[in-house]
Structure 1
């Protein structure tokens, strides 16, 4: 797929988990333990292993996943109880990611280069506390400050999750820009569908997708409306700046 005309793009809207840092695998390790306890509490059956959850729920937050699991088996969730589970999952995953993630020099270099050319913001399904821990651990905190982060969990009047385009529409309004002025960067079909539904041109990035899954993920991103897909941050930065990104050693 060819790169679309990006002449009017002033702002990059970056997904976080699995896009800016390799958080999905460790996040699902921590989340799976909570999900299994949740399933045991309500008598839910199924495969709640980290790998199965990663393959079937990537791009969604825990609230959406928990509600879907309950609805699928006809279990009514008390809203207050659901919120308690959401809070527990958020705390446990945030703590785990804060210890598991490390600085990715190539990402830092690419984001730094892009920041010189574009306004950057983060648009995620994850909670703001989780994002803060991830940005600190991955060395991106200073490049993507708190005021430029939009969370489907915390920033909206009512929490939701991608593929609902609400968080992207909220980000556009908060930044005071039209969809044609933005380019979204997403690693999942769920995220790409969210951005595309908000009218935003979208690039796919599969750097942190397991290598064996990258061809399939690339096709999923294209099917969801991604205009083009790249395998590494350096490639995407070259597309958008015309310059080769040099990684500090």
Structure 2
């Protein structure tokens, strides 16, 4: 696919998990423990392993996953019960990601280069506390400070999750942007669908997707509406700036 005309783009809207840092696999390791406890508490049946959850729910937050699991099996879930389990999962995953993530020089270099030309913001399904832990551990606080982070879990009047486009529309409104002034970067199909539904030109990135899944993910991202798909952060910088980001001093 050819890169579309981006001359009107002033802002790059970045997904977080699986896009800015390789957090999907470790997040699901921690989340699966809570999900399995949740399933036992409500008598839910199914595969709640970390790998199955990663393959079937990437791009969604735990709130949506828990609601979907309960609804599919006809199990009633009160708002108070849901909030309790959302907080449990958030705490477990945040603590784990804060311990295992480390700075990625290639990501830092690309974002630094992009930030010289574009305004950068984060649009994620994850909670702000989880994002804060990930950004600190990944060395991205200075490049993407709290005021430019938008969470489908915490920023909206009613928590939701991608593929609902609400969080992208909210970010556009807060940043004073028309959809044509933004470019979204997403690793997941649900995330790409969310941005595309908000009318935003979207690029895919599969750097942190497991190697044996990249070809399939690339195809699915394109079918979800991604204008093109990049293999590495260096490619993102090259496509948007015309030159690869330089890693190191």
TM-score bracket relative to the smaller structure: over 0.9
5+ residue gaps, structure 1, are none
| Cα distance in 1 between the residues matched to 2:246 and 2:170 | 34
| TM-superposition CA deviations, 1:152-181 (whole Å, max 9, x none) | 000000000000000000000000010000
1:218 is aligned to 218
Alignment of 1:102-181 (within 5 A): 102-181=102-181
> TM-score, normalization: structure 2?
0.99
| Cα distance in 1 between the residues matched to 2:208 and 2:248 | 20
| Cα distance in 2 between the residues matched to 1:245 and 1:177 | 26
5+ residue gaps, structure 2, are none
1:52 is aligned to 52
| Cα distance in 1 between the residues matched to 2:159 and 2:75 | 21
2:72 is aligned to 72
Q: Tell me the number of residue pairs that the alignment of Structure 1 and Structure 2 aligns.
A: 249
| Cα distance in 2 between the residues matched to 1:131 and 1:244 | 27
Secondary structure of the 2:246 match is: coil
Secondary structure of the 1:20 match is: coil
2:19 is aligned to 19
| Cα distance in 1 between the residues matched to 2:79 and 2:220 | 33
Alignment of 1:190-229 (within 5 A): 190-229=190-229
**Structure 1 position 245, deviation (Å):** 1.1
**Structure 1 position 243, deviation (Å):** 1.6
| Cα distance in 1 between the residues matched to 2:243 and 2:236 | 10
> TM-score, normalization: structure 1?
0.99
1:189 is aligned to 189
